[in-house]
Structure 1
Amino acid sequence: MFAGTTLLPSDAAEVVLSRSEGAGGGTPEQIAALRTQLGLDRPWPQRYLDWAGGLLHGQLGTSLISGRPVADIIGDRLGNTLILAGIAAVLLVPIAVGLGVWAALRQGRAGDRVTSVTAIGLQALPEFVAATVLIAVFALALRWLPPVSFVAAGTSPLAQPAGLVLPVASLLTVMAGQSIRMVRARAGQVTNAEYVRMARLHGIPERRVVWRYVLPNALAPALQLLASSVAWLVGGVVVVEQVFAYPGISDELVAAIATRDEPVVQALALVMAVVTIAAYTVADLLALVLVPKLRTEGLR
């Protein structure tokens, strides 16, 4: 991310001077002086090492554009994105698991085919199309919900829950298709397994077969893919936040890249990486809980 930002044309010094009233973009001497002041005259490997050294001491640096501490900038936006992503994730998992297993238990029947076709259609739908359609229907035509997610400074998005409905629905529309398909594929394999057929032959009730054998063994392999979906909710909601004017970290990341604000770009990339690692770690732990034999395989 750091190298990519440095390869972009112009830098933060040029952006600052281009925004200064009457500067006309600044003279070469002014640009050179501001680069020296901001530390941009040093080679980029040195700037990166300085940033990494500060990170080891818990310092994320200072914005080159606003002069604010990067930690404050992220703190203002991270909570908003976590609320949006958290609500979407809480709703995504039961929807994907419920519909995926339901379709797997009806393999080849009408319910399975309708669910699979719908999931494929949703998976192929771009985020901006889903968001635009939802705005057109529920905000403009029916006027049930606001078209933008206005969040006043210093307030939580939960204070205006109506503004969260369409962004969350847009994320679910795009994410549900892939999640349902992968749960359906794994659950279909489990329902045809020998131990599931034997359980049914021994007269074990269908509900117990589903909860005791199908669900745990279908979810364990699918958890990694579900974890990638949850990680994407934090790092890849750029389009949704832009369409709904939602003040999250993706919106801040786009602005930081546009202004070549290297410390902010680096810190936001770090936050997204940490969230991704945390999501996969939680998925591994849940897999161990769901399938006890995974805890003992390494001991054999």
Structure 2
Amino acid sequence: MPGAASSHGLIWMILRRIGVALVLALVVSFLVYAATTVLPGDVAAAVLGRNATPEAVAALREQLGLGDPFVQRYLGWLGDLVRGDLGTSLAGTRMPVSELIATPVRNTAVLAGATLLLLVPLALLVGILSGVRQGRSLDRAAAGVSLTLTAVPEFVIGALLVLALAVYVPVLPAVSLVSGDVNPLTVPEFLVLPVLTLIIAGAAYLIRIVRISTIEAMATDYVEAARLAGVPERRIVVRYAVRNSLAPTIQAVSATAQWLLGGVFIVEVLFAYPGVGNALVTAVQVRDVPVIQAIAMLLALAFILINLVADIATILVDPRLRAAA
């Protein structure tokens, strides 16, 4: 039956995307492990410090398995990773890495989540209105602002916001020093400047893509036919333009979320926000390889997962891809 064949083709297409994501995750894990094992210097000596005795360095190297073959070490690390064991930190109290990064990961998730919850609806609204009102004052203003913001990096936007809202008009804290296990949502004043920085820096790209997609959808023959049939303009926008611009919009939101994973690191360092970005900087400074590996893998897996979800969503909403399946 044609319907069953189409359904099987759709499932097979989704399974292929999942398979590619799994292979990519495996390749990334190898690259992360290889990159962190070829860092210059002796990890054991760096962890123990200058006053460490040769015997202590040798004992730590033995404990870390640094004398074992590379493939054996990688497979052991990969097996632990699959089981959810991220290893033990080499610095400080030698805490399990999963416990050490739990709070920074939560803080980063709160920052990124708050940004997306505000950025995506705002950018979609402005992009759709600009596309529907192409050439009018709103469209020209949105195009000019988004084009300007595209050329301004996050740290410049953040610095300007600090000057404006924490120095000249001191209504917000200049740094986001959320202490201990305090949930950032309970101290929203520390989130305002980082979130605002990310929204301003990230909205421009999404607005442009949504605007272009809306313009293309509004120029199609079926929209013109709906107008000739007397369908109200608001219904045309919602039923035809928005629906048929979903696929590129999903990909644009995915790209924005992936950009946010990198942008949030810069903003965390700029505002001293206790997230994954600052945890990674600290780990690099003290050569805490297990923490570096864990954060790098979490970041890579987040990229892969976002891309996978966007691909599957695009397949489900795009009739051309469903037909091809």
Do both share a fold (TM > 0.5)? yes
Does the 8 A contact of 1:12 with 1:65 survive in 2? no
**What letter is aligned with 2:64?**
L
Residues 47-86 of structure 1 correspond to what in structure 2 (within 5 A)?
Answer: 47-66=73-92, 67-86=94-113
Structure 1 gaps of 5+ residues are none
Q: Which moved more, 1:278-287 or 1:252-261?
A: 278-287
User: Could you list the per-position Cα deviations for residues 109-165 of structure 1 after superposition, in whole angstroms to 9, with x for gaps in the alignment?
Assistant: 332222112111111111111111111110111001001112121210011100000
| In structure 1, C-alpha distance between the alignment counterparts of 2:166 and 2:68, rounded to whole Å | 50
Residues 64-213 of structure 1 correspond to what in structure 2 (within 5 A)?
Answer: 64-66=90-92, 67-213=94-240
Q: What is the aligned residue count?
A: 293
Does the 8 A contact of 2:36 with 2:293 survive in 1? no
SS where residue 101 of structure 2 aligns?
helix
User: Could you list the per-position Cα deviations for residues 29-75 of structure 1 after superposition, in whole angstroms to 9, with x for gaps in the alignment?
Assistant: 65444333333333444322221021233311111223111111221
**What letter is aligned with 2:46?**
V
SS where residue 302 of structure 2 aligns?
helix
Find the counterpart in structure 2 of residue 264 from structure 1. Answer: 291
| In structure 2, C-alpha distance between the alignment counterparts of 1:253 and 1:239, rounded to whole Å | 11
Does the 8 A contact of 1:5 with 1:260 survive in 2? no
The match for 2:300 among 273, 286, 289 is 273
Q: Post-superposition shift, 1:213?
A: 0.7
Q: TM-score, normalised by structure 2?
A: 0.83
Does the 8 A contact of 2:265 with 2:278 survive in 1? yes
Q: Post-superposition shift, 1:283?
A: 2.8
**What letter is aligned with 2:235?**
R
SS where residue 174 of structure 2 aligns?
coil
Greater relative contact order, per chain length (Cα 8 Å cut-off, separation 6+): 2
Aligned-pair Cα RMSD in Å: 2.2
SS where residue 237 of structure 1 aligns?
helix
Q: Post-superposition shift, 1:104?
A: 1.0
Find the counterpart in structure 1 of residue 5 from structure 2. Answer: none
Q: Post-superposition shift, 1:103?
A: 1.1
| In structure 2, C-alpha distance between the alignment counterparts of 1:42 and 1:128, rounded to whole Å | 43
Does the 8 A contact of 1:256 with 1:264 survive in 2? yes
Find the counterpart in structure 1 of residue 242 from structure 2. Answer: 215
Does the 8 A contact of 2:104 with 2:274 survive in 1? yes
Return closer, same or farther for 1:285/1:33 CA change in 2, 3 Å cut-off. closer
The match for 1:3 among 34, 37, 61 is 34
| In structure 2, C-alpha distance between the alignment counterparts of 1:260 and 1:216, rounded to whole Å | 50
| In structure 1, C-alpha distance between the alignment counterparts of 2:245 and 2:276, rounded to whole Å | 34
**What letter is aligned with 2:76?**
D
Does the 8 A contact of 1:11 with 1:259 survive in 2? no
Q: Post-superposition shift, 1:296?
A: 4.3
Q: Post-superposition shift, 1:252?
A: 1.3
SS where residue 144 of structure 1 aligns?
coil
User: Could you list the per-position Cα deviations for residues 146-185 of structure 1 after superposition, in whole angstroms to 9, with x for gaps in the alignment?
Assistant: 0111212121001110000000011111111111111111
Structure 2 gaps of 5+ residues are 1-31
Return closer, same or farther for 1:208/1:70 CA change in 2, 3 Å cut-off. same
